[in-house]
Structure 1
Amino acid sequence: MKFAVSYSTPFQGMDPDKLVAFAQHAEACGFEGFYVPEHIALYPGAMFGRMELPTTLPYGDPLDLLAFVAAATDRILLGTAVLLLPYHHPVVLAKRLATIDVLSKGRMRLLTVGLGSLAGEAAAAGVDFASRGRRTDEAIDILRLLWSGDADGVSYSGEFYRFENLTSFPHPLAPLPIHIGGSSRAAARRAAHRGDGYFPGGALSPEERAAQWDLIRTTSARDNLDYTRWAPTDLTPQTVEAFETQGVTRLVVNPATLDDLSAFAERLALTP
Structure 2
Amino acid sequence: MATRLGLGLPQMRQYSIGKDVPDVARAAEDIGYDSLWVFERALFPEPATQGLYNIDGLPWPDQYRSVAEPLVTLTLAAAATRRAELGTSVLIAPLHLPFQLAKALASLDAASGGRVLAGLGTGWSLDEYAAAGVRPFEERGKVLDEIIDVCRAVWGPDPVAHDGTLTKIAPAVVGPKPARPIPILLAAGNRRAWRRLVDRADGWLPVSTGAERVAADWRRLRELAEERGRTAPIRTVLRVNTTRLPKPYEGADRRPFQGSVDQIVQDLAEHAAIGLDEILIDLQGTARDAAELTDVAAEVFEKARAAGV
Identify whether the pair has TM-score above 0.5, normalized to the shorter chain: yes
Structure 2 segments unaligned to the other structure (5+ residues): 241-256, 288-292
Match of 2:248 in 1: none
1:118 corresponds to = 125
Q: Which residue of 2 aligns with 1:69?
A: 77
User: RMSD across aligned C-alpha pairs, in angstroms?
Assistant: 2.5
Query: Counterpart in 2 of 1:174?
Result: 180
Aligned residue in 1 for 2:290: none
CA separation of 1:51 and 1:187: change in aligned 2, threshold 3 A: farther
Does 1:214 pair with 2:220? yes
> What is the CA distance between 1:131 and its match in structure 2?
0.3
Does the Cα contact within 8 Å between 2:9 and 2:37 map onto a contact in 1? yes
- Displacement of 1:53 after TM fit? 4.7
Quick one: which amino acid aligns to residue 164 of structure 2?
Answer: G
Cα shift at 1:55: 9.2
Query: How many angstroms apart in 2 are the aligned matches of 1:220 and 1:64?
Result: 38
Task: Kindly provide the amino acid, as one letter, of the partner of residue 141 in structure 2.
Answer: G
SS of 2:179's partner is: coil
Q: Structure 1 residues 155, 10: CA separation in 2 closer, same or farther (over 3 Å shift)?
A: same
Once the two structures are TM-superposed, the CA of residue 208 in structure 1 deviates from its matched residue by 6.6
**What is the match of residue 261 of structure 1?**
297
Query: Which amino acid in structure 2 is aligned with residue 28 of structure 1?
Result: D
Of 59-68 and 178-187, the range deviating more from structure 2: 178-187
Q: Percent identity?
A: 26
* Partner amino acid, structure 2, of 1:190: R
Partner of 2:28: 26
SS in 1 for 2:233: coil
Say whether residues 1:89 and 2:97 are aligned partners. Answer: yes
After TM superposition, the structure 1 stretch with the greater mean CA deviation from structure 2, 178-187 or 248-257, is: 178-187
1:192 is displaced (CA, Å) by 1.1
1:11 CA displacement:
5.7
Once residues 124 and 274 of structure 2 are traced to their aligned partners in structure 1, the CA distance between those partners, rounded to angstroms, is 27
Residues 148-201 of structure 1 show CA distances to partners (whole Å, capped at 9, x for unaligned) of 122xx2222233332221331110000000100143333322221111110112
- Which stretches in structure 1 are left out of the alignment for 5+ residues? none
Q: Distance in 1 between matches of 2:229 and 2:32?
A: 31
Residue 229 of structure 1 is matched in structure 2 by 238
Q: TM-score, length-normalised on structure 1?
A: 0.87
Is residue 192–residue 220 contact of structure 1 (8 Å, CA) maintained in 2? no
1:30: Cα distance to partner?
0.6
Deviation at 1:7, TM superposition (A): 2.3
Equivalent AA in structure 2 for residue 188 of structure 1: W
